[in-house]
Amino acid sequence: MSDTSLPGFALQEQPAHARVPDSPNRDAQALVLAALRDLPEDALRMVPDAERIPSPPQRRRTGTISRVLDFLPIFCVVAVAGMLLRDRSAFSTIAYYVPPLATVLGALLWLLLQRQRRPAWLRWIVVACAATAGWKMVVVDAEWNEPTMQPPPHLRLVHWNTARGVFGRESILRDAADAKPDICLLSEPPQQLDPRTEASRIIDAPHVFDELGLALISRYPIRPLDRFRLSGVRGWFARLDTPHGPLDVMAVDVVSSPFRSRGPILAALLAKLESHDSDVPLILAGDFNTPRDSVHFDRLRDSLSHAYERAGRGWPYTWPTPLPVYAIDHVWTSRGVRVCRYELVTSAASDHRMQVVELRIESRGPAR
């Protein structure tokens, strides 16, 4: 028998009972061995044993992409369930925090790459998920208030989470000043904000109150009323003496973890709010780290209105820039305050959009 061994390959003698009689298959094996003998020895060393040759990297990447695409219909269905159930339970809360935009993009990607390989019923489910997520963005989350003739506003409020100034302290001061506020509330303000130099660049001759990571810069005198640290939320009450009467500001900052139920947190905040003097108009503002349509805001809506819902228009989300997908920064007003205009401003100085709200105080009561 001729020596057919090759570098890196070993052809072992087969027992008599396992031998295959001469056939066209044997001729094909001979042709393959002849072709292997013609390969350079270096090439053969790189292929030591056919049974141990790993799959090519490109094939592995293709397999991973295929598995991700196979998962996308499940992802879309779970996300839509979260949109419908909202944050009523621990399971639905996880799905609730999937942005509608991510659902739309995932569904479109799957339809583009997989629609020819999957049954029609599955394609229709993915189309329905994309349509539901798009409907939530455009109809449920977004408001389309038309500008109306209203009495001129009394003051302009700016609320902005400035991420402690890590994106640029100088840019924060400049962009906040460009909004020309009468009242400026900064969540996570730049550290050690100097009221005499830096705050005065936002508002001339300002009054400043900076507590618990929430800084209030006002054109009007500030009288602190209360400070609180509750489970999952911190903040304070302050009263402003405006030319149009007293105005109370409640500033809050809610824990950011999406796995922390907002039910007990907002219930404690609502109990704190009930101690407020109802004769004095109120603004409640801050970074709530909770989407605007959360079920846990339902009780708050009994006494307060959301400024965006009353006067906002267009893309409603505030975080994270440059493509925000969550509406987590809010301004709420009591019945004694009219919202004349609401605008969201994007700035490179923070990963949150700035809320600019023009307000008119319609009722005034005695200050306590």
Domain definitions of the chain by residue range = 57-141, 148-361
Helix (H, G, I), strand (E, B) or coil at 239: strand
Least Cα distance to 173 among 162, 187, 159, 163 occurs for: 162
Question: Going residue by residue through the chain (368 aa), what tens digit of pLDDT does each one get?
Answer: 445 444 444 445 555 554 545 555 667 667 766 666 666 666 555 555 544 455 566 556 667 888 888 899 999 999 999 999 999 999 899 999 999 999 999 999 999 988 778 899 999 999 999 999 999 999 999 999 998 788 899 999 999 999 999 998 999 999 999 999 999 999 999 987 787 789 999 999 899 999 999 999 999 999 999 999 999 999 999 999 999 999 999 999 999 999 999 999 999 999 999 888 788 999 999 999 999 999 999 999 999 999 999 999 999 999 999 999 999 999 999 999 999 999 999 999 999 999 999 999 986 544 44
Alpha-carbon torsion (356, 362, 366, 368), positive or negative? negative
pLDDT for res 367? 45
Sheet with 245-254, strands from edge to edge, namely 222-230, 233-242, 245-254, 282-287, 329-333, 305-306
Least Cα distance to 6 among 41, 57, 52 occurs for: 41
pLDDT for res 6? 47
The CATH number, out of the four listed (3.40.50.720, 3.10.129.10, 1.10.3720.10, 3.60.10.10), of the domain defined by the range 148-361? 3.60.10.10
Q: Which two tokens stand for residue 42?
A: 């270096």
Buried b (16+ CB within 10 A) or exposed e, 8-39: eeeeeeeeeeeeeeeeeeeeeeeeeeeebeee
Helix (H, G, I), strand (E, B) or coil at 339: strand
pLDDT for res 51? 46
Is the pTM here over 0.85, yes or no?
no
Cβ–Cβ under 8 Å, residues 141 and 292: yes
Least Cα distance to 279 among 239, 307, 310 occurs for: 239
DSSP-derived letter for residue 151 is P
Helix (H, G, I), strand (E, B) or coil at 27: helix
pLDDT for res 56? 61
DSSP-derived letter for residue 252 is E
Q: E strands, 66-182, where? A: 143-144, 155-161
Least Cα distance to 143 among 317, 316, 353, 282 occurs for: 316
For residue 157, what are the β-bridge partners? 183, 357
pLDDT for res 110? 94
d(CA 349, CA 15): 78
pLDDT for res 136? 97
d(CA 135, CA 107): 14
d(CA 345, CA 99): 20
Helix (H, G, I), strand (E, B) or coil at 30: helix
